[in-house]
Structure 1
Amino acid sequence: MREIVLINITGEDRAGLTAAITGVLANNGVNMLDIGQAVIHGVLSLGYLVEIEQADQVSAVLKDLQPLIANEGLQLRFDPITEAHYQRWVNEQSQKRHVVTLMSRQVTAQQLLRVTSVISQHGLNIEQTDRLSGRVPLDAPTHLSKSCIELRVTGEVADLEALRAEFFDLSQALNIDIALQEDTLFRRNRRLAVFDMDSTLIEAEVIDELAKAAGVGDKVAAITERAMAGELDFKASFKERLALLQGLDVGVLDAIGASLRLTEGAEVLFAELKRLGYKTAILSGGFTYFAKQLQAKLGIDYVFANELQVVDGKVTGVAVEPIVDAQRKADLLRELAQKEGLSLEQTIAVGDGANDLAMLAIAGLGVAFRAKPLVKKSAKHAISTLGLDGVLYLLGQRDRNSQG
Structure 2
Amino acid sequence: MREIVLINLTGPDRPGLTASVTGALARCGAGILDIGQAVVHDTLSFGILVEVPAGSELSILQKELLFVAHGLGQQVRFTSVSEAEYAAWVADQGKPRYIVTLMTRRVSAAQLERVSAITARHGLEIEQIDRLSGRLPLDTPEARSKGCIEFSVRGEPADPAALRAEFLLTAQELNVDIGFQLDTLFRRIRRLAVFDMDSTLIEAEVIDELAKAAGIGDKVAAITERAMRGELDFRASFKERLALLKGLPEEVLEEIGASLRLTEGAEVLFAELRRLGYKTAILSGGFSYFARQVQARLGIDYVFANELEIVDGKVTGVAVEPIVDGQRKADLLRQLAEREGLSLEQTIAVGDGANDLPMLGLAGLGVAFRAKPLVRQSARQAISNLGLDGILYLLGYRDRDGIR
1:140 maps to 140
2:124 maps to 124
Equivalent residue letter for 2:350: V
CA–CA distance in structure 2, aligned partners of residues 23 and 298 of structure 1: 51
Cα deviation, residue 66, structure 1: 2.0
1:53 maps to 53
Cα deviation, residue 56, structure 1: 3.9
Q: 1:251 aligns to what SS in structure 2?
A: helix
1:386 maps to 386
Equivalent residue letter for 1:284: S
Q: Deviating runs (4+, > 6 A) in structure 1? A: none
Computed over aligned residues only, the root mean square deviation of the Cα atoms, in angstroms, reads 1.1
CA–CA distance in structure 1, aligned partners of residues 298 and 20 of structure 2: 47
CA–CA distance in structure 2, aligned partners of residues 54 and 138 of structure 1: 53
Q: 2:318 aligns to what SS in structure 1?
A: strand
- Contact persistence 2:14–2:72 (CA under 8 A): no
Q: Deviations over 1:216-241 (max 9, x none)?
A: 21211111111111111111111111
Superposition pairs for residues 261-272 of structure 1, below 5 Å?
261-272=261-272
Equivalent residue letter for 1:153: V
Quick one: structure 1 residues 55 and 145, their matched pair in 2 at CA, closer, same or farther if it must change by over 3 Å? farther
Cα deviation, residue 55, structure 1: 5.7
CA–CA distance in structure 1, aligned partners of residues 179 and 98 of structure 2: 10
CA–CA distance in structure 1, aligned partners of residues 53 and 18 of structure 2: 22
Equivalent residue letter for 1:174: L
- Contact persistence 2:146–2:386 (CA under 8 A): yes
Q: 1:14 aligns to what SS in structure 2?
A: coil
Q: Deviations over 1:199-254 (max 9, x none)?
A: 00000011111112222212111111111111111111111111111111111222
Superposition pairs for residues 197-346 of structure 1, below 5 Å?
197-346=197-346
Cα deviation, residue 28, structure 1: 2.2
CA–CA distance in structure 1, aligned partners of residues 26 and 244 of structure 2: 78
Superposition pairs for residues 346-365 of structure 1, below 5 Å?
346-365=346-365
Identical columns (%): 71
Q: Deviations over 1:130-172 (max 9, x none)?
A: 1111111100001210111111111122111111111111112
Q: Deviations over 1:10-58 (max 9, x none)?
A: 0001222112212222222211111101000000001111111136421
Cα deviation, residue 359, structure 1: 0.7
Q: 2:140 aligns to what SS in structure 1?
A: coil
How many residues of Structure 1 are paired with residues of Structure 2 in the alignment? 404
- Contact persistence 1:3–1:55 (CA under 8 A): no
Moved more, 93-102 or 213-222: 213-222
CA–CA distance in structure 2, aligned partners of residues 401 and 287 of structure 1: 35
TM-score (norm 2): 0.98
Q: 1:156 aligns to what SS in structure 2?
A: coil
Q: 1:30 aligned to 2:30?
A: yes
- Contact persistence 2:28–2:56 (CA under 8 A): no
- Contact persistence 2:269–2:392 (CA under 8 A): yes
- Contact persistence 1:269–1:388 (CA under 8 A): yes
2:106 maps to 106
2:398 maps to 398
CA–CA distance in structure 2, aligned partners of residues 197 and 222 of structure 1: 19
